[in-house]
Amino acid sequence: MAVSRLKRVSVRQVWKNEEKDFMPWLAKNIEILGETLGMPLSVVEKETDVGESFEADILAESKDGIPVVIENQFGKTDHDHLGKLVTYSTNLEAKIGIWICENPPTRTCGSN
């Protein structure tokens, strides 16, 4: 049996495009995210219409049927994607929002 080390790599080395490469992979492999979070998930719909030409990346649900919105973001995080996650979660009546981002914020609110 071979044992190797985990190595951090850029998401763009694996998935060139968030929408065309990563999101379909995540939807197909949603159980990996569920295992990581300790919350089994199943995909309800990809690119779910939220109205006014907006689409949530993935609408999923927990084992108990609780709606979950998943928003993906490559690059540096921004308030636009956080706002989308809140808006999508509200409009789709999701109880859980998951923001998967390449470069999460490193400062907490109120930090100088």
What CATH architecture does domain 16-103 belong to?
Answer: 3-Layer(aba) Sandwich (3.40)
What's the confidence (pLDDT) of residue 109?
Answer: 58
The torsion angles phi and psi of 8, rounded to 5 degrees, stand at -75, 130
In 3-state terms, what secondary structure has residue 57? strand
- 73 CB neighbour count, 10 Å cutoff: 20
What's the confidence (pLDDT) of residue 27?
Answer: 96
What's the confidence (pLDDT) of residue 6?
Answer: 67
Closest CA to 38 of 62, 20, 19, 14: 62
Listed in sequence order, the residues at least 6 apart from 96 whose beta carbon sits closer than 8 Å to its beta carbon are: 39, 62, 66, 67, 68, 69, 89
Per-residue confidence in pLDDT tens, the chain, 112 aa: 666 676 777 888 899 999 999 999 999 999 999 999 999 999 999 999 998 889 999 999 999 999 999 999 998 888 898 999 999 999 999 999 999 988 877 766 555 5
What's this model's pTM, rounded to 2 decimal places? 0.84
